[in-house]
Amino acid sequence: MSDHLDLYPSRLKAYRKPIPRQDPIVHARNQKRWEGPLDEVALSRYERDGYLWFEGFFSKDIIEPFFEELKAMAKDDELMRSDQVITDPNSGAIRSVFGMHHLSERFDKLTRDPRILGMVRQLLGSEVYIHQSRINDKYGFEGSGFDWHSDFETWHAEDGMPRMRAVSASLMLTDNNEFNGPLMLIPGSHREFIPCVGETPEYNWKASLKAQKIGVPDQEALARLAEHGGIEAPKGPAGSLLLFECNVLHASNENMSPWPRSNLFFVYNSVDNTLDEPYAAPMRRPEYLGARETVEPLSMHDDFPELTGQGVKPLQ
Amino acid sequence: MSDHLDLYPSRLKAYRKPIPRQDPIVHARNQKRWEGPLDEVALSRYERDGYLWFEGFFSKDIIEPFFEELKAMAKDDELMRSDQVITDPNSGAIRSVFGMHHLSERFDKLTRDPRILGMVRQLLGSEVYIHQSRINDKYGFEGSGFDWHSDFETWHAEDGMPRMRAVSASLMLTDNNEFNGPLMLIPGSHREFIPCVGETPEYNWKASLKAQKIGVPDQEALARLAEHGGIEAPKGPAGSLLLFECNVLHASNENMSPWPRSNLFFVYNSVDNTLDEPYAAPMRRPEYLGARETVEPLSMHDDFPELTGQGVKPLQ
């Protein structure tokens, strides 16, 4: 475990009260903050709520090939047997696939899309790299939910991410509606760190990625935060984009509809916030869950015609 | 088991395709249909969708004492140990309490409220009695969901209800919102009977009331009906009322919010549709799940001041 100063202790033997956030929410400062691409209204909303929702950010035409490639992957037996693929505890169907940007050039390029990367660099106030990428799938009538949690709590405790200086970009590969298990968030919950009770066992991720039992915030804190900030579930067509701060509490319910729900997540971390040893776990998690080797800054890359001639590196 | 003609076979050894509904949806005819209290617009909508939603039907002032009485019941140890109380398979909290109108005079009187009873008699085209009453509770963060099902399928197979001539009145005792597991319905699904595969074991209700495994419609039929009719989840304040036809497919998801969800259900059956022997089960269910003894027609009874002097029997 890390012997560095731990600002956010968790996985404790006994209850400890919530800790105020010790880090900025928007990390770019002064001139860098004002340069955009997000304007002050958007930045203030991100500071207040912990997320930004862009309905129909990409067109369906652009998104469709990603969903198609994902369906093709599901037929790749060797991939499906690998550790990177997590199956549903109830149905056995695909629940998550990790390391999407290593598996597919198409997904890799998308992580470097200038529209996303510009916003992410501004929010994190530095160059960025991919800490983790994944697809979370919920088949019709089958996908289980995800209980309330802070991603940062796990990345700090189990991966050794020192500070709250990461953001997830979640791109909807299918429509997200009221009935297919959309992501729910508690606005404002990113401003507190909830220490969790319960020590991390060895190889915890093998169980936690199916159903999280360790690193679960207590119901009293959840209730208080939800009473204060409410609960929101952004909904919209395939191609919609959610940027959410690494410490905002989120969850999702079961998919009780016939409509599949497939969301892509790219977790961007600041190059000034690379991983230390785990703060509260007996061992590191695998590279595909928390990158330590591939941490060079991402360079922009545009696959689509909209930005040609605007100084963005052209398609190779 | 019943040796009468079975219009709606279910709990079968092998797949059988859906059967068109053999019964009217609105049972009152001609002059009786037109006499109200529901007008032709409402009746047509009920015929089309299989349900009617009345947002804020009763005021919160009227509803609150019912919720308070329920909370008092939860402290009654003897009651809590009885078979009428079903606990949550995951949390152990109360999931359902059956026979509410026998446990409480307040609930009994509500079953005979003229505003509800007038509509129910019109929909069923006859005098009516209570086939079953229950509360379904979902505590904050704890209540499990209910998978998709037709109530009539169970009442026919396990209780011997001959025809589709029953309606459920569901009264919200708490607010129902997007996050506390509101009832979901598939509009139009009441016009087909989906025979289910799988024979009914003895004492099936002891398991099925916690989590239904037998009498579950197949996913292909569910998907087809949901693609055709969509899914709706009526939401509104405590005091809202849902009238839904006995064969409409419905479900509900887990309560992932801190806000409790408590809904009261009165199932009204036509006095011309009293129970026969079970059509597809080895034994009858208990009286509190399907009434055979108390089947005399309900008479109107008004506890509230609004209807005094309008020919309604006054409060005793």
Tokens matching residue B214:
């037998």
Q: State how far residue A23 is from chain B, nearest Cα, in angstroms.
A: 28
Confidence category of residue A316, pLDDT binned at 50, 70, 90: very low
B-chain residues within 8 Å CB-CB of A148? 141, 256
Decide if pLDDT at A55 tops 60.
yes
Decide if pLDDT at A239 tops 80.
yes
Question: What does the pLDDT read at residue A169?
Answer: 98
Confidence category of residue B300, pLDDT binned at 50, 70, 90: confident
Question: What does the pLDDT read at residue B315?
Answer: 43
Average pLDDT over residues A289-314: 73
Q: Which domains does chain A have, with CATH numbers?
A: 36-307 (2.60.120.620)
- Does A223 sit within 8 Å of B258, measured CB to CB? yes
**Nearest C-alpha in B relative to A147:** B256
Interface of A with B (CB under 8 A): 140-141, 145, 147-148, 178-179, 184, 219, 222-223, 226-227, 231, 233, 251, 253-254, 256-258
Contact B200, B280 (CB under 8 A): yes
Checking ipTM against 0.90, whether it exceeds it is no
A-chain residues within 8 Å CB-CB of B145? 254, 256
pLDDT tens for residues A20-45? 999 999 999 999 999 989 999 999 99
**Nearest C-alpha in B relative to A217:** B141
**Nearest C-alpha in A relative to B226:** A258
* DSSP string over B49-90: HSEEEETT-S-HHHHHHHHHHHHHHTT-HHHHTSTTEEE-TT
The identity of residue B15, as a single letter, is Y
Whole-model pTM: value is 0.89
Average pLDDT over residues B47-54: 98
Neighbours of B105 (CB within 10 A): 12
Q: Helices H, strands E: what count in chain B? A: 10, 12
Average pLDDT, chain B: 91
Average pLDDT, chain A: 91
Decide if pLDDT at B67 tops 90.
no
Confidence category of residue B296, pLDDT binned at 50, 70, 90: very high
How many angstroms from the chain centroid is the CA of residue A281? 20
Average pLDDT over residues A278-288: 96
A-chain residues within 8 Å CB-CB of B219? 140-141, 258
- Does A140 sit within 8 Å of B184, measured CB to CB? no
Decide if pLDDT at B76 tops 90.
no
d(CA A42, CA A26): 11
pLDDT tens for residues B142-171? 878 889 999 999 999 999 999 999 999 999
Contact B130, B296 (CB under 8 A): no
Interface of B with A (CB under 8 A): 140-141, 145, 147-148, 178-179, 184, 219, 222-223, 226-227, 231, 233, 251, 253-254, 256-258
Decide if pLDDT at A306 tops 60.
no
Name the more confident of A167 and A308: A167
Question: What does the pLDDT read at residue B308?
Answer: 53
Whether cis (ω within 30° of 0) applies to the bond prior to A18 is no
Question: What does the pLDDT read at residue A273?
Answer: 98
Contact B138, B146 (CB under 8 A): no
d(CA A287, CA A59): 32
Contact A259, A175 (CB under 8 A): yes
Q: Quick one: which of B265, B263, B267 has its CA closest to B298?
A: B267
Q: Choose the mutation target among B179, B180, B213, B261 for the interface with A, i.e. most A CBs under 10 Å.
A: B179
- Does A258 sit within 8 Å of B184, measured CB to CB? no
Contact A245, A153 (CB under 8 A): no
Q: Strand (E) positions, chain B?
A: 19-20, 51-54, 85-87, 94-98, 128-138, 146-149, 166-172, 183-185, 192-193, 241-245, 250-252, 261-270
Size of interface A-B (CB pairs under 8 A): 55
Average pLDDT over residues B73-88: 85
Confidence category of residue A289, pLDDT binned at 50, 70, 90: very high
Q: Quick one: which of B171, B39, B155 has its CA closest to B111?
A: B171
Name the more confident of A280 and A139: A280
Q: Quick one: which of B233, B222, B155, B144 has its CA closest to B189?
A: B222
Confidence category of residue A6, pLDDT binned at 50, 70, 90: very high
Question: What does the pLDDT read at residue B90?
Answer: 75
pLDDT tens for residues A66-120? 988 888 888 888 888 888 888 877 777 788 899 988 888 999 999 999 999 999 9
User: Among residues of chain A, what percentage have pLDDT more than 70?
Assistant: 94
Q: State how far residue A90 is from chain B, nearest Cα, in angstroms.
A: 14
- Does A223 sit within 8 Å of B140, measured CB to CB? yes
Average pLDDT over residues B43-58: 97
